[in-house]
Each structure stands twice: as structure tokens, then as C-alpha cells.
Amino acid sequence: MLKDVEKIIENFKPITLNEMNSVALMKRTDTKFVVNKSQLISILENLKNDYKVLEINSDRIMSYSSLYFDTESNKFYNDHHNGKNNRTKIRQRKYVESDLCFLEIKQKNGKGETNKTRIPVKDFELNLTQDSKKFIANTTHQEYNLEPSLWNAFNRITLVNIKSKERVTLDLNLNYKIKDVEKSFENLVVIEVKQERFNRKSKIVKALKSIHQHPYSISKYCIGMISLYNDLKYNVFKKKLIRINNTIA
């Protein structure tokens, strides 16, 4: 299946990392969709004339690895589960092909906007350094006692709209683990449309609508957490799990 995806994205014109910086969209609206990997071929076929694909060192399907942090009481997870409008996620992410690692803070406000702030780090820090702790405190205006909560790895295709300020990420082969517990979602694709404000006339949104796929709020972090931990409250996410399981069946 991945070979078929690789063949199709070879038909897209490439865009470099530096060129993509003009569409960084650090403050943006994120709209997510979930599809089965088998639907990805027809979606991509509809997009090849309207989007460029990120290419780094001849690679168009990138490998990402992330380490999420939370408090002992899982505050960030529970804030999301409980529907808190202003919420935070903290992670370190390695962009494998670029050999770059960042400490990233994603903050969501009550208007549905996501603000992402980050600094480079040498590599994953199981114990956060003083510089990392200071960056987190200065950005969030809070001091947290954080510990690793979740490892996440996946492949990503990044598309950039040729005509408008829009990026699309397609995440596939999602894998989660913590200690000796592991869970994979091999047939799930999480599509995220990143825009200054949501535009239903976007080519990707229209392509998804044509196969009866509509915006679907989902957090890869929260899905990973409830897949690995048995003691978390997750009743709000039950329908999402059912939807995911039906999608990948």
C-alpha cells in the first residue's frame, strides 16, 4: 500500500523545506479528518494539480518520532477530555530525515486557534533540561512537574497548496508505546488541514467531502493515551474510538 502512495506522490511537484517556511502557519486553524489508508489513493489523485509535496533529500514520505510529556495526574490529557477550551500539549519531536529535534508547545484557545512555539534541542530528553523547563515556564506561564507519557511514531506526507496559504499533513502508520505497552493503527490515516481560517472551498476539503468524509475532531495524543493506559477516564472519547475502529476495519 505504501508503494502505491509513493508512486502517486511522485506526480506532485516538489517543494523544499525553506520554500515551505512561507506557509509556516504557526498561528492557525487545524481541521482534522480520518480515513482508511485504502482511500488515500483516490484522495491524492484529486490533489496532484493543486498541491506541491514536501521533499527532503529525495524523500517525500517522512518519518516522525515524538515524545509527549504530561503531569503525574495527566493534566493535559484530562483538560482535553473535559473539554477545556484553553489547553496545552508539550512534546519533543524528531524529524528523522532532517535529523532535527524540537521541544514544541501547542496551545489552543477558545476560538479554535492553535499557536505552536518551539525551540531546537539536541535530542529527546527523558529528563527535561533546565533550558527546556525555562522555555516551558516562559511560554505557558506555569511551572509543571513533567514526565514522559507517550512515544508516538508515524509517517507523514506534507502538501502545500499552490495558490493559497494552506498546508495539509497526512499521517499514516501510527504507532504508540510507553514502557512495554504498544499499539499500532496501520490502516488509519489522520489528515489535518492547516489554514488561517477554515475554508470549505479548499480542494482537499472538497475531495474528502466527495467520499463522505467530514471534519472530525481527534487528538492523536489522546487516542494514544487511552490505547496504552487502563486507568484513564475516556467516556468522552468512546464514540471516537468506535469511529476509528470502523474506519480501519
Grid cell at residue 12? 506532485
Where do the domains of the chain lie?
2-248
Report whether CATH 2.40.320.10 matches the domain 2-248.
yes
Q: How far lies 10's CA from each of 6, 13, 26, 45, 187, in Å?
A: 6, 8, 28, 11, 21
Question: CA 83 to CA 243: how far, in whole Å?
Answer: 19
Q: What is the pLDDT of residues 154-189, one digit of tens each?
A: 999 999 999 888 999 999 999 999 999 999 998 999
Question: CA 178 to CA 150: how far, in whole Å?
Answer: 5
Q: Which of 124, 126, 117 is nearest to 147 (CA)?
A: 126
Output the tens digit of pLDDT for each of the chain's 249 residues. Answer: 677 888 999 999 999 988 887 666 666 788 999 999 999 988 999 899 999 999 988 999 999 999 999 999 999 999 999 989 899 999 999 999 888 999 999 998 877 778 889 999 999 999 999 999 999 999 999 999 999 999 999 999 999 999 888 999 999 999 999 999 999 998 999 999 988 877 788 999 999 999 888 888 888 899 999 999 989 998 988 888 888 888 887
Grid cell at residue 148? 514522559
Residues forming a β-bridge with 188: 36
